[in-house]
Structure 1
Amino acid sequence: MKKLTLILFLSFLVFSCKTKEEKQTEDSSPETATEIAEETPAPPLEIGCYAYDANGHKISFEITDVSEMVLGNLDYALKEKDANTGTFAGKLQDSVLIGSYTFASEGMESTREVAFLVKDGQLIEGYGELDETGTAFKNKNDLSFSSSMPLSKTDCDSEM
């Protein structure tokens, strides 16, 4: 009985050592450039045009530069509201684009903070409580990205 137990123990020990060596050999193989490229996610935001056009609401956002700063032209034409045409300058952090929207409406120039969540090739506008001036978010961590008007990537030739 002791011999049988000893033989089983030694068999188990030898088998487990071989499995461990095989795993180390497989894990230590160098990654190829193709494997690294496949693991690297594509940039979440691309230069180009994003738009929403339904139910009398039109929003167009042409992103002209995606580097340290994200720059573009942003236009709103919401049903039963005055149209706003302006420029955007902001930063992208963790798939959230936050920046200043400087626009002209009713002959006046104004600036307000806007935010978009970049998700699945769309820009979803974020909303949150504004500060005393009504032009900036009180707490950027409490934004809600539940807009029913997502901007989808579109051809820039199809102007709104």
Structure 2
Amino acid sequence: MRALLFLALISIVSCTSPTGKDTENEPKIENVSVEPKAIAGGEQCYLFIAVKDTYALKLNIIDNTVKGTAVYKNYEKDSSHGAVEGEVDGDIIHLWYSFQSEGMNSVRELYFKKNGDQLTTGIAEEQVKGDSAYVPDKNSVKYSGPVYAEGDCNSVPVLK
């Protein structure tokens, strides 16, 4: 009798799901790998405004190549402007900013992460060699800096 009760119990348990519900008609859930969305091409402008400081990027993206201009207009501090060149990798924009500030030419490595119609600035420890500031470990970049909003390139006075 115990053997029959044991077999009946095993049959009941094996015919139900762990929650006790019939799973035959439930949708199956599979692991899906999500790739970052590619950044759309063409001319794009982004602005960050904080009190009296204005930062602007005008980017032209063709395939994975980026060229454009950047302006960092600071109130009561040194401002800068110059050209940017770089590449797009998924939702990351990696740029080299060649700029003039106070009559000196310099180069700085920049990272941005695209999220909808915004760019979040990548922050990382930099090293300086000659006139260039660069990020020695791109994996250390944290996207927690100023957030630029997409805007109309014609309405950005510092880029004209």
The alignment's TM-score, normalised by the length of structure 1, stands at 0.68
User: What amino acid sits opposite 1:122 in the alignment?
Assistant: Q
Q: Do 1:45 and 1:121's aligned partners in 2 also have CA atoms closer than 8 Å?
A: no
The equivalent of 1:88 in structure 2 is: 84
**Aligned-partner SS, 2:133:** coil
Distance 1:67 1:48, change over 3 A: same
1:79 aligns with 2:89: no
Q: Do 2:82 and 2:98's aligned partners in 1 also have CA atoms closer than 8 Å?
A: yes
RMSD, matched Cα? 2.9
The equivalent of 1:128 in structure 2 is: 124
- Percent identity among equivalent residues? 26
The equivalent of 1:52 in structure 2 is: 48
- Structure 2 portions without partners, runs of 5+: 1-23, 25-34
Query: Where does 1:6-155 land on structure 2 (aligned, <5 Å)?
Result: 43-46=38-41, 47-133=43-129, 135-147=133-145, 149-155=146-152
Query: C-alpha separation between the residues in 1 aligned to 2:119 and 2:40?
Result: 9
Greater share of residues in strand: 2
Residue 150 of structure 1: CA displacement?
1.1
Q: Do 1:89 and 1:101's aligned partners in 2 also have CA atoms closer than 8 Å?
A: yes
Q: Do 1:60 and 1:76's aligned partners in 2 also have CA atoms closer than 8 Å?
A: yes
Distance 1:101 1:132, change over 3 A: closer
Query: C-alpha separation between the residues in 1 aligned to 2:91 and 2:61?
Result: 16
**Aligned-partner SS, 1:145:** strand
User: What amino acid sits opposite 2:39 in the alignment?
Assistant: P
Query: C-alpha separation between the residues in 1 aligned to 2:74 and 2:83?
Result: 17
Residue 132 of structure 1: CA displacement?
4.5
- Structure 1 portions without partners, runs of 5+: 1-18, 20-39
The equivalent of 2:156 in structure 1 is: 159
Residue 45 of structure 1: CA displacement?
4.2
Distance 1:145 1:79, change over 3 A: farther
The alignment's TM-score, normalised by the length of structure 2, stands at 0.68
Residue-by-residue CA offset, 1:71-109 (whole Å, 9 max, x unaligned): 111111123321110111011113111121000111111
